[in-house]
Amino acid sequence: MILLVANSFYHHSHVKPPALLVTFIDVGQGDSALIRFPKGKTMLIDGGGFPNGDFDTGKNIVAPFVLRQGIWRIDYLVLTHPHPDHYYGLRYIAKNFSIKEFWTNGDTVDDPYFLELEKILTKRKVVIRRLSNGSPRMLIQGVSINILHPPPGYSGSGQGVDARLNNKSLVIKFSYGNIRFLFSGDIGVDAEKMLLSTGEDLSADVLKTPHHGSATSSSIPFINSVGPRAAICSVGFRNPFNLPHPSVLERFQKKGCTVYRTDLNGAIAIATDGKKMQVQCLRQDRKPGDF
Amino acid sequence: MFLLVFKNFSRNFLSPLFTLLSTYMAGLVVGLFWHPQLTNTFIIVCFFLVLGVYALLKKRPGLSGLALFLGLFLVGVLSLTHYLRPDFPAHHVYCWAQNRPLTMEGFLYRPAEYLPQKTRLYVRAQWIVISKKKYPIAGNILLTIEDVQESFLVYDRIIFSTRLRKPHNFGNPGGFDQVRWLAFQDIYVTGYVSKEQGLVRLGVPQSRSWLRKIDAFRSTIREIIDSSTSPPANSFLRALLLGEQGVVSDEINESFIRTGTAHVLAISGLNIGIVAAFFYFLFCRLLGFSEFLLLKANVPKLAATLSVLPVLFYSLIAGAGVSVQRAFIMTVAYIAALLFNRERNLYHATALAALVILVIQPPALFGASLQLSFVSVLGIVFFAPKILSLLPQQDKLLQKLDPPWWRKLKHQPFIFLVVTFSAMLATAPLVAYHFSLFSLSGLVANLLIVPLAGFLIVVMGLIGVLLIPFSSLNRCFINSRLLLGLFFIFRASCRISPLKLPPSWQAFPGRVFLSPPPHSSRCFFSISLLSLFFAGNFIAGRKRSSLSP
């Protein structure tokens, strides 16, 4: 018992990131990223999830990883859009971790798991913030956070409900010193065009590729405008959609951007002091086409 | 010089059993990271063992100890290399795991696992069908079948179409190592069969051995449970009696985890120990009615021997899986300690059980189940007497004023609380390491759940199961009220089994908290500290016994 307490105290007092640390967690075919701010605050963007829901990514992947970092409090839990591969894993996190705020684009879906998530958040009295590009710029421990998309009242575009939900994803830009990160959710070409038309500064050093590197996203004008040095594709190993799409990879490579993939590289951690950034991947043993 | 130090150390501080166990365990731990070439290492092992025996015959204990120590250490290393770096023959299914559609034939070598929306089959592949021709093939496959209603028996022969894949891990630090977990079960390939792809069961089974008969009996029990109870009661009973933990709903599972009583759902040393204890006391009482036995035999020993039978029966109907086998060996080791008048040296009994288990299942060392079982037993043996000795004793004269039944009854819950606390104290670092969870309410919840689930449901369920062969006879020929009564108790226990804890309890603040898992080095440190305590206690105990007249 004493050792347990000592261990928790040690983690709490000593293990603090020296700077901003962004980790893209390998949750299979889905998205999840953990952000540790310079003075220890934490943000979890999406929680991954599998469509049939029989494997809880929150319980089996995200929570063990987060706890391994010595974290049991998530200050900001973010859901970019309500699709299973983004929020199924959030239920366990919302239920078991101490959560301060929940950020969402305001979309809801008629799914028992989504209703369960809403119920947990309400029961635990978590502050829910519905964000849009009209939301004011925020500053958390020296990191500037700007919501670039969706506009207030935007109903989404594209064919089908899924495409509309994707295009309404929260797009968030983090700036720490000279280093910038762009989280683009699952937006498609339509939303990318909208973003370009706003005239906002989209430039970023690290881009979480939209919609897991699907061919219907990451258009050339968008990539040109962002101009990333590193692109992160959060995809499942041997995923049935064959993502990321080869044409998308080619577009990034032509721009001289290094593409990191969670299926091949595992968890991808990017640390920055605001001047330089360092990328670290957990595994190097896989190649495309491996079985 | 080294030999001298080793000689003194082994003579003064370690008994042969502990030396054997710790050497073998050290080999297993090293084997996790170092995988030497099997043939060469085997030759070296043989050399050391022969040298050890030769030195022993020549009465050179130092050299023999060192040679045997190194030999045993390498045996430990080799035991794990066999799992982690196996040499696959050319016809092994591993060589076919290329994600291409294949048609294969094989049989089930282990009982199937039934989950809410799928069934897991453990298939030993025999043939692969290519262009309508059969070619021999070897190796085990973990086959997942989508939403199938039918049940399977061990040695059922099946033909199926699937894509074989090598299992893979998610690439996060500290994540669950599924590849290693499967490799420890001798499985290197997985497959999935959808509704469309289909699976055909072939007529004649591979064998009609006793294992298949037991599996058929398990199937009967499953049907009775499902027909006599509705969900979620049936899932709870199936978990406790048949070891089918996968059928328990997430909601119930979560309740047990949050109250620190999840160990009740998995068939472990606790459940099997309860069965052994119940039948031991039952047989003691029954045999005590016979004057002949009281005069001519040692009734407690006879009762202990007889209690192995229900334990064996329970282990078999519980699927005789890896964890059940471990629990069975452990329980039998303690019964053996009682039989050979070694009950006072439970450390030795524990070490012997651990050694036997690790020889049979070397990878068990790295499983939470074995670690928790042994550490909790050691914790109880070590801490419980110390805690009880610290408590003020009631005056013996005052005690005599109480009726005997009250004297016994008022102490039982207290002793149980101390035992639970001791086990929790010892296992806390391991629980935090494996599950990142620690439940404060476990102390209280265990007091309620363990007797209810263990004594009432498991034991009564087991008695009910024993009466299944008679229940049809009962309807036709015998009108025994006792049999019927017991069967009704069994059914009643089925009905009360969905233990849903009151919401107010679950909302109790601080009842459970997530804990960052300690770093392996810190966990190693705490285990070493505990081991030092145990060793100190053991040495002190020996000194005391040598000083006493």
Which residues 6+ apart lie within 8 Å of B307 measured at CB?
A: B276, B279, B280, B283, B335
Helix (H, G, I), strand (E, B) or coil at B439: strand
Those of residues 172-201 in B touching chain A at CB distance below 8 A are: 172-176
The Cα–Cα gap between A167 and A215 comes to: 14
From CA B188, how far away is CA B180, in angstroms rounded? 9
User: Do residues B453 and B275 lie in contact, with contact meaning Cβ atoms separated by under 8 Å?
Assistant: no
Is residue A48 a contact partner of residue A13, using CB atoms and an 8 Å limit?
no
Query: What tokens were used for B391?
Result: 């408590």
**What's the gap in Å between the CA of A62 and the closest CA on chain B?**
9
Looking at per-residue pLDDT, the higher value among B497 and A189 belongs to: A189
Give residue B31's pLDDT band: very low, low, confident or very high (50, 70, 90): very high
List, as ranges, residues 496-515 from B with C-beta within 8 Å of A: 513-515
DSSP of A216-234: TS--HHHHHHH--SEEEE-
Give residue-wise pLDDT tens across range B352-405.
888 888 998 899 898 887 888 888 888 888 888 888 887 766 666 666 666 666
Q: Cβ of B536 under 8 Å from any chain A Cβ?
A: no
> Which chain B residues are Cβ-neighbours of A240 within 8 angstroms?
none
CA-only gyration radius of chain A, Å: 18
Q: Which of A85, A91, A76 is nearest to A37 (CA)?
A: A76
Q: What is the pLDDT of residue B477?
A: 35
CB interface of A with B, residues 98-137, below 8 Å: none
Q: Of B95, B220, B72, B201, which Cα lies nearest the Cα of B148? A: B201
Supply B318's token pair: 């519980």
> Which one, of B362, B203, B222, B338, lies nearest residue B283 by Cα?
B338
Residues 13-72 of A with CB under 8 A from B: 25-28, 52, 54, 56, 60-61, 63-65, 67-72
> Which residues, 6 or more positions from B43, have their beta carbon under 8 angstroms from its beta carbon?
none
Q: What's the pLDDT tens digit per position in A175-184?
A: 999 999 999 9
Higher pLDDT, B351 or B442: B351
Q: Which segments of B58-149 does DSSP mark as H helices, in order?
A: 61-84
Q: Does residue A27 contact residue B474 with C-beta atoms inside 8 Å? A: no
**pLDDT band at residue B486, thresholds of 50, 70 and 90?**
very low
pTM (predicted TM-score): 0.79
Q: B515 contacts in A (CB within 8 Å)?
A: 4, 7-8, 67, 72
Chain A touched by B164 (CB under 8 Å): no
Q: What is the dihedral of CA A83, A85, A86, A92, to 10 degrees?
A: 110
Joined tokens for residue A266? 């595992």
Residue A103 phi, psi (nearest 5):
-105, 135
Distance CA B351, CA B24 (A): 12
CB-CB under 8 Å, A7 with B172? no
Mean pLDDT value across chain B: 77
Beta strands in B69-180 (DSSP E): 101-108, 113-114, 118-130, 133-136, 140-146, 157-163
- CA dist B205 and B201 (Å) reads 9
pLDDT tens per residue, range A59-91: 889 998 998 888 889 999 999 999 999 999 999
Query: Which residues from A are below 8 Å from B168, CB to CB?
Result: 237-238
C-beta atoms of B172 and A25 within 8 A? yes
| Nearest partner of B442 among B250, B257, B240, judged by Cα | B257
Q: Where are the beta strands (DSSP E) in B147-275?
A: 157-163, 189-193, 199-201
The pair of three-digit structure tokens given for residue A188, joined into one six-digit string: 């498609």
Instruction: Look at residues A18, A70, A24, A68 and name the one whose alpha carbon lies nearest to residue A48.
Output: A24
pLDDT band of residue B61 (cuts 50, 70, 90) is confident
ipTM > 0.90, yes or no:
no
Contact B393, B414 (CB under 8 A): no
- Report which of A84, A105, A113, A21 is spatially closest to residue A236, judged by C-alpha positions: A84
Between CA A206 and CA A217, with CA A212 as vertex, the angle to 5 degrees is 85
Task: Write the CB contacts of A66 (distance below 8 Å, at least 6 apart in sequence).
Answer: A34, A42, A44, A72, A74, A93, A97
Could you give the CA distance from residue A15 to residue B68 in angstroms, rounded to a whole number? 44
- Which residues does chain B have within 8 Å of residue A291's beta carbon, measured at their own beta carbons? 97-99, 165-166
The predicted-structure confidence for A104-122, as pLDDT tens digits, reads as follows: 999 999 999 999 999 999 9
Locus of tokens 């958390």: A140
